[in-house]
A and B are shown apart, each in its own frame.
Chain A
Amino acid sequence: MRNFLNILQIIKIIVLKDFVEEIKSKEILISIISYSTLVLVVVATTSYINNSIEIFSTIFWISLSFSVILGINKSMSKEFENNGLEMLLTSPIGFEIVIMSKAITNFILISISSAIILLFNNIILNYDLYDLEFIFLVLIVNFGFSIIGTITYLLFSKARGKEILSPLLFIPLVSPLLMGGSLTSVQIMNNNLEGYAWYGLIIAYDIIFLLIGVFISNLIFQE
């Protein structure tokens, strides 16, 4: 129990450190929000359909997933600047705790950004979607995004062309989340939610990748 509390304390310190840095620079939030807004602007200027349920769901998930790639890359690359990650790894903290902390930081940042993206989506596409079931769906999908994004960035962190490789693995890996997210959001918007099977599947997928993150942390950071 005491160990668990210690772990939580360490995670809290790392997450707070990242937040203080983000409050100072605001780089990640600005890049995620501005990129997703750009996607929305492109859609708004190229499409005449502005209130279709399918297009709302598709655009929301496209803008979110692509801006998340940008945000996570930014968040993780900041840790590599000035050997920040190396310093963190030399401290007496388990490698898995470092991965968890980074994933939690990314999750919170993505969730704040997705709230703003949803607001912009609602305004530009003339919708009014603030359903609790939808918000919970976005949160569990965001958790998957953050843990998978953190893992893929760390896997490719030392490779040439990591900017290409990271999304190339990230998008295929999050596609079950995107499938579930888009199908369920269309059902919610139609007031026709067919059970919570997809929620269970998304949470299971999140847990699988959380365990993978814990399991491979030693292998990633060993050298």
Chain B
Amino acid sequence: MFSKLFTLITFLVFIFMLWMVFWWIPIDISQGPVAKTVFIHVPLAWCSMVAIVLVAISSIYYLFNKKLFWDNLAQSTAEVGVLFGSLALITGIIWAKPIWGVWWTGEAKLTTTLILILIYAAYILFRSLYTNSMQMKKIAAIIAVIGAIDSPIIYFAANLWQEAHPVTVIGPLAREDSSFGADYGITLLVSVIAFTMLFVILTRLRLKILSLEQ
């Protein structure tokens, strides 16, 4: 009952978010309509970061108490996280071409995001290739924790290398005030909530499938 209600609320939040993105907020003067990809790109990137933290926490829990739930949670969040991370990269590329004039640069934030996706792709591939179940889960948990060590690099990368990616405007490392207006800020907040809810639904579904398989 609760999950159905949650799915319905997510659907309504998504509809509201789409209305805000396409009708409520004006088109950005400097970047044009492509600036609106930020409302998909940022929430996707946010969810993939949340996924990495969740994978690391659940893997650490699994290493300590060996409860299958934590391993399943790590696997589910890793899979959904890789999906969201890949989509974040794709939407970033779509934004970069008209704004930067290139699809891809060797810029740190892009590169480290790709690196993280590759680490978690190795994690997922490893899980499918290893036959010994208990040992596999343990080693997978170790890989997840190692991967999580790389994740802070993503957040600090833009400040360390200071290249093409827009500077951080939200959070403790923010360097300047956002050029976006308040309406952009509110819409971004709603889209982050909508995508986070979608992330929860997808992870929960994957978790359910995994427990049914076992």
- Minimum distance in angstroms from B149 CB to a CB of chain A: 7
In the assembled complex, the Cα of A168 lies from the Cα of B123 at a distance in Å of 10
- Is A135 part of the binding interface, using a Cβ–Cβ cutoff of 8 Å? no
Q: Does B119 contact A (CB under 8 A)?
A: yes
Cβ 8 A contact of B149, one of A164, A169, A208, A220: A208
**Contact residues, A64-79 vs B (CB, 8 A):** none
Does B111 make an interface contact (CB < 8 A)? Answer: yes
A168: contacting residue among B122, B138, B149, CB under 8 A: B122
The answer to whether the Cβ of B214 comes within 8 Å of any Cβ in the partner chain is: no
B interface residues, tally (CB under 8 Å): 28
Cross-chain contact A169 with B122 (CB below 8 angstroms): yes
Residue tally, chain A, CB below 8 Å to B? 25
Q: Does A59 contact B (CB under 8 A)?
A: no
Determine if B121 is an interface residue (Cβ-Cβ < 8 Å). Answer: yes
Taking a contact as CB atoms under 8 Å apart, the answer to whether B111 and A156 are in contact is: no
Contact with B126, one of A165, A172, A212 (Cβ below 8 angstroms): A165
Instruction: Judge whether A10 is part of the interface by a CB distance below 8 angstroms.
Output: no
Residues of B contacting A223 in the complex (Cβ-Cβ under 8 angstroms): 134-135
Chain B CB within 8 A of A2 CB? no
Inter-chain contact A176/B153, CB cutoff 8 Å: yes
**Whole-angstrom distance between the Cβ of A97 and the nearest chain B Cβ:** 19
A179-B108 contact in complex given A169-B143, A172-B119, C-beta closer than 8 Å: yes
Q: Chain A residues near B63 (CB, 8 Å)? A: 219
Interface centre among B108, B118, B122, B131 (most CB of A within 10 A): B122
Q: Are A175 and B111 touching (Cβ within 8 A)? A: yes
Which residues of B pack against A, CB within 8 Å?
63, 108, 111-112, 115-116, 118-119, 121-122, 125-126, 129-132, 134-136, 138-139, 142-143, 146, 149-150, 153, 160
Residue numbers of A with Cβ under 8 A of B are 151, 155-156, 158-161, 164-165, 168-169, 171-173, 175-176, 179, 201, 208, 212, 216, 219-220, 222-223
